Amino acid sequence: MRTRWPGVSSVASAVLLVGTVLVSAPAGASGTFSDDDGSVHEGAIEAIAAANITLGCNPPTNTNYCPDRPVTRAEMATFLTRALPLTPSTTDYFTDDNTSLHEGAIQTIAAANITLGCNPPTNTNYCPDRPVTRAEMATFLARALDLAVVQPPPPPTGSTVVFAAGGDLGAENSTAEVLGHIGGSDAEFLFALGDLSYNQITPESSWCSWARSQLDSTLPVQMAVGNHEHDSGSDGSWDKFAQCLPDAMSSTGDYPAQYFFDVRGTVRIIVASAGLKIDGHQYTYEPGSADAQWLTAAIRSARNSGIEWVVMGTHKPCISVGAKKDCEPGRHLTDLAISEGVDLMLHGHDHNYQRSHQLSCITVDEFSPACVSDSDGSHRGGDGTVLVVSGAVRDDSLYAVSSSDSEAGYFADYLGANSANSGAGYVEVTATPNSLIVEFIGATTNHSDTFEIRK
């Protein structure tokens, strides 16, 4: 299990600073600020206000503390210089803080080696307006208090790879519960399958900070783009999400629209964006198109280099027993993936969980038994592709599933809003040189499903 350092809010900063340098003060009837009444952290906020570590957040009146707003790196510098006995410095260490009201504090913590900068290896910038993560806060405090650094365990070096996958996240209580499960699991990274915030937390950077606060902050998050954040999406912008969820896996291609990465020679994960328009480009994967050629080369090069498994992630599914019908993204991508021998396709978009049999082909809006190559849940690699929808991350927004759907014959298991044990969960994938094991793990449901593909 990992130690968690989620994102830092104004409240978290107050509590952390009080814990290191102050004793929490009791809150008065109204207190210094008008917007923290009833907060469990109000005593800590009063303590740092009494010590002049904070003056407020709405000058010149400063009647508010803004307890739920993220703290910027510039504000963090000022908090630290007011809280700690540091020697002021006028040396100009960074090029991007010259107009900041906090430049003096930034120079002071740089002189004390509390910060090195934000753009290694040159570190010419401080990024004063960027929110502080709890991971960065840990480093700030460890340096400021001269704490001995505890080295984390080394990353996995074996051939087994474990990752979590889910789309259509939002920021509901069930989202937090699912992300908490993932953060405490053996997953090495989260594969976010598009439709991220639904504007339930804005802006994009704040949602990213919130999501990381539910996960382990060291857990990489690789994103695919969904229809809610592509060019014409209404719930945030894909490029801003990519800034706060940057590529962490040394990927090849155009992150986050179309790219792939390999993990220890065991699995290649390919991201595609069928049915979406990103940076002005419409992704269709029509035969002969540049995108289809790129995808074909990505799949074949994995096989040629001896990578055991190929997993593809794309937001929109083509077939479904849920609400998303008529093969919204077009069938070109699924046809290509099956014909090229992709082992597993992961989707979001339909807010439920669905798992197909191992398929050698598909037909839209009808079931063809000849397309099912194996249906017993223990499949042989190379005999077909299994399609999985992992869109059940938030149980307040699940879509129904139908056993009478015209495409239901393709599916081995599903869970939706109308299921007897409806609830939220995610998919965990374990890849070894000999097997690909996929499991639905419930967070607010006891539903379970597992299948295996073996060499």
Can you give the CATH number for the domain in which 428 is found?
3.60.21.10
Are 230 and 357 members of one domain?
A: yes
What is the rounded average pLDDT of the residues 58-70? 91
Position 384 scores a pLDDT of 98
For residue 1, what pLDDT is reported?
Answer: 33
Residue 353 is encoded by which pair of tokens? Answer: 């969980």
Reply yes or no on whether the pLDDT at 238 is more than 70.
yes
What is the reported pLDDT for 5? 35
Band of the pLDDT at 218, cuts 50, 70, 90? Answer: confident
Number of structural domains found in the chain = 2
Percent of the chain's residues with pLDDT above 90:
82
Question: 396: helix, coil or strand?
Answer: helix
Indicate the range of 122-131, 270-279, 348-357 predicted with least confidence: 122-131
Give the pLDDT confidence score for residue 39 in this predicted structure. 85
The alpha helices in 84-187, defined as continuous H runs, are 103-111, 134-144, 173-183
Contact, 229 vs 223, CB < 8 A?
no
Kindly state whether residues 132 and 205 are assigned to the same domain: no
Same domain assignment for residues 120 and 181: no
Q: How many Cβ atoms sit within 10 Å of the Cβ of residue 373?
A: 18
Q: What is the pTM of this model?
A: 0.70
Model confidence at 327: pLDDT above 50: yes
With 0-12 / 13-18 / 19 or more C-beta atoms within 10 angstroms meaning exposed / middle / buried, residue 375 is middle
Sign of CA pseudo-dihedral 429, 446, 450, 256: negative
Residue 301 falls inside a structural domain: yes
DSSP state of 70: B
Say which amino acid occupies 239.
D
Q: What is the per-residue pLDDT for 26? A: 55
- Is 420 contained in some domain? yes
* 66 neighbors 37 (Cβ within 8 angstroms): no
Whether the per-residue pLDDT at 137 is higher than 90: the answer is no
Tell whether the model's pLDDT for residue 6 goes beyond 80: no
Show the domain range for 269.
Answer: 161-454
Q: What is the pLDDT of residue 38?
A: 83
Q: What percentage of the chain exceeds 70 in pLDDT?
A: 92
Categorize the per-residue pLDDT at 339 as very low, low, confident or very high, splitting at 50, 70 and 90: very high
Chain mean pLDDT for the chain = 91
Last residue of some domain: 94, 116, 144? 144
